[in-house]
Amino acid sequence: MIITLTPNPSVDRAYDLDVLQLGEVNRADAVHVDAGGKGINVSRALAANDVQTLAVLPVGGHDGDLLVALLEPTGVAVRAVPLPGRTRSNVTLQVASGVTTKVNAPGPVLDDAGQAELFAAVAAAVGPGDVVVGAGSLPRGANDRFYVALGEVVRAAGAHLVLDTSGPAFDAAVAVGGLALVKPNDEELAELAGRPLPTVGDVVAAAREVVALGTTRVLVSLGSHGALLVSADAACWAGGPALVPASTVGAGDTTLAGFLAASGGDLDQVDDAECLRTAVAWGRAAVLLPGTAVPTPDLIDARAVRVDLDLDPTTPIKEL
């Protein structure tokens, strides 16, 4: 079972525009409303490809009810934890040229009691060998060690923790270790490392610093330049021909879902090259869809993805 925990979920409203004119009235060609939040996006992508998943999330107010309703037809099993406050609503403006602008609301306050309820919901669902994905930003009130505490719950159940977040919460969890996989993008990894990472060798070295602290694998998404997977003794890259994106929102979440799906949920026995190939194929399919829509099997083309196990470390990331 792959369980996701999204501590700061949202209702995502995406507007398709021909052009965006600041300070003017803009009229959308189409509007897309989806259940949002990084962990939810992972679960939606998994369910769309017939992979069993459970999404644990806090909900509150009208948009909390709408969030659960939006998930009902997706095939995602939901464990909603009612909490005070109102679930946030995020807005995405998608221009025909492929440029995406996001406005994310702060969300409700998550106090200690609310955190305890979320962890209890995870503990009630997780079992030995399961994978728990902690994903997304933390709401106001949450401690920077939120994901550290989640790790204690997950490991106590004999399960694996996968983490996709950034900032102080990411720093704290990486410092403690015990993570099966983390999925930063190159900018988030550079922030953690405290230095620019312009080349393949730079990214691999920074990822290995994370591994040295107790993380088994680091999956680094590189946007249009593919992705790198790094462990203590191996590194590989995967990518494909250039695409014109419809929306890049949620593509990294779908990439992570592809990796987990290819692993069969068993992170002790991972074929690095094939899992990375699948991850990138899922992410490439996602950017061709509007809003935070997730791809179904008929839209995913792993044959278009090339895997390189012997990259020149001096290669600039922008040339991949």
Domain ranges of the chain: 2-319
pLDDT band at 18 (very low <50, low <70, confident <90, very high): very high
Work out the number of other CB atoms within 10 angstroms of the CB of residue 245: 20
Stretch 3-21: mean pLDDT = 94
56 token code pair? 């644990």
Mean pLDDT of the chain: 95
Which of 198, 164, 222 is CA-nearest to residue 38? 164
Q: Is the pLDDT of residue 100 over 90?
A: no
Task: Tell me if 254 sits within 8 A of 285, measured CB to CB.
Answer: yes
- pLDDT for position 59: 96
Catalytic positions are 253
Stretch 257-276: mean pLDDT = 95
CATH among 3.30.365.10, 3.40.50.10190, 3.40.1190.20, 1.20.58.100 for 2-319: 3.40.1190.20
Please list the helix, strand and coil fractions of the chain in percent, rounded to the nearest 5, in that order: 40, 25, 35
Quick: pLDDT tens for 165-174. Answer: 999 999 999 9
Stretch 263-285: mean pLDDT = 95
